[in-house]
Structure 1
Amino acid sequence: MDLPQPLVRGRLVSRYKRFFADVVLDDGSPLTAHCPNPGAMLGLNAPGLPVWLSKSDDPKRKLAHTLELVEVDGGMVGINTMHPNRLVAEALAADALPEVAGYSSHRREVKYGVGSRVDFLLEDPARAPCWLEVKNCQAAYNARLKPDHKVWLEVKNVHLMRTPGLAEFPDCVAARSLKHLRELEAMVAEGDRAIVLFVVQRGDCEAFKACHELDPAFARGLDQAADAGVEVLIYACDVAISGLKISHRIPWAR
């Protein structure tokens, strides 16, 4: 997935009110940028960190610039939570995710559960439907599907790394994500296939775990969902100024 070019570099002054970031560009110009990330951004919100911003020419936007990347620990980290679904859509179109390859149709934001929408519904005339919520998958589960079963896929963005090489989710209380897990469990109970896919917007992580310290309810919920048959997949990304790409699967340190 290409990022809007050219990106401009600066240093973070302050990230506040969830969706605002004050930045001083390398040429000394101060500006306020849109921060497309409702999470805590732990480890990525310290004043002075180098950041990269895109710029929109849309005259209707109140803030022309968008915070896209943060430089930390010697590498780039994507913080835009709008990107994981786009990255997964791109990977699905290229059949780059072996666990869910081969579906001819990929529908997004399909209603399911109680007032929720699953990130992707994968369909093919010769195969059972697959529902994908971006989070961890076990391809072996697919062999147990019946012709009328469905697969739900839910996508979650990950960028927290407190221990070198270990990605964590969430970075704050994630009640909505826990609700998604419960709904995925219900799909499995009905005989469907349900998948949660975690997209790690950084390339320096070798494993993943749920962050029990910051949200014990979600960490317990992920274990429970997996035990109930919800599949869990974690994929890391290659991140550069030019763009991002889902690259390889990493293990769940359960």
Structure 2
Amino acid sequence: MEYTQLRSGILIRRYKRFLADVRLASGEEVVAHCPNTGSMRAVNVPGSRVWLSPSRNPARKLAWTWEWIELPMPGAPPALASIHTGRANDWVEEALGAGRIAELAGYTTLKREAKVEGARLDFRLASAGQTTHVEVKQVTLREEDGHGYFPDAVSERGRRHLESLATRVALGERAVLLFCVAHTGIDAVAPAAHLDPAYADTLRRVAAQGVEVLAYGVSVTRDMEGMPGQAILTRRLRVDLERQPPSACVNVTRE
């Protein structure tokens, strides 16, 4: 995905879930759409540099959409994290088409938003009689130990998706949970047992039942001024289902 016409600014605040006040580099303060309904733990950082994309719809109430935030990394260059949860499936679809997800290569058909009994999963891949269902979850939570964690708040919906994947396995199909890591400072992913122990327990159980768990991270080019350019899913990351999160972390509210 190529980002063009982005505008940089400083995040003032995010509020009412869908709104963010941003001070543009010009000094103008604007209200941007925040396309992320989650807690945004660790990526809602007022005072941070952010980038907005312009809307192509003249009838839309808000002219800007919050896309990226820059976050400090101890002993390393700043990281970029995507705010727009809707980008994850686009990155995954592009990577599938390009064959960059080795574990999911070789399929001849792809369907997005595939219906299964009691749920809708992000992708259905098929080839030579084999059907694979893929559910994508975007990861942006980086805790103090440097690991990425999912979810960033209690997610009953996410747990139901795990159960749907396990059902597909029981029916003889292949099922994959794919963590799309949209934070360039994350190199490994674990279930967030400190935020949603039920999700972590369910993930470990369905993995033992045959649901495959993968993690791939986005790579982002930047120009001389730090502006994000092309973003593609390229980095194969480690998944550690048994990792214990930092004891200093505390629970957050239900999504």
Structure 2 length normalisation: TM-score?
A: 0.87
Is residue 95–residue 234 contact of structure 2 (8 Å, CA) maintained in 1? no
1:14-93 equivalence runs, <5 A: 14-73=13-72, 74-93=78-97
Q: Which residue of 2 aligns with 1:122?
A: 125
Looking at structure 1, the residues matched to 109 and 117 of structure 2 have their Cα atoms a distance apart, in angstroms, of 21
* 8 Å Cα contact 1:172/1:214 also seen in 2: yes
What is the one-letter code of the residue matched to 1:75? Answer: A
Question: How far apart are residue 96 of structure 1 and its match?
Answer: 1.2
> CA shift at 1:123, angstroms?
1.8
CA RMSD of aligned residues (A): 1.1
Aligned match of 2:215 in 234, 245, 252? 234
Corresponding residue for 2:117? 113
| 1:79-124 deviations in Å (ceiling 9; x for gaps) | 110011000110111111110101121111111021x211111122
Partner AA of 1:152 in structure 2: H
Secondary structure at 1:243 match in 2: strand
User: Does residue 249 of structure 2 align to residue 245 of structure 1?
Assistant: no
- Structure 2 unaligned regions, length at least 5: 73-77, 222-227, 242-255
- In structure 2, the residue corresponding to 1:242 is in which secondary structure? strand
Aligned pair count? 230
**Is the contact between residue 78 and residue 239 of structure 1 (CA under 8 Å) also seen in structure 2?**
no
Distance (Å, rounded) in 1 between the aligned partners of 2:46 and 2:188: 28
Q: Which residue in 1 is equivalent to 2:169? A: 188
Q: Distance in 1 between matches of 2:199 and 2:230?
A: 30
Cα deviation, residue 164, structure 1: 4.7
SS of aligned partner of 2:160: helix
The alignment's TM-score, normalised by the length of structure 1, stands at 0.88
Q: Is the 8 A contact 1:201 1:239 kept in 2?
A: no
- Who is 1:162 aligned against? 143
The runs of 4+ residues in structure 1 deviating greater than 2 Å are none
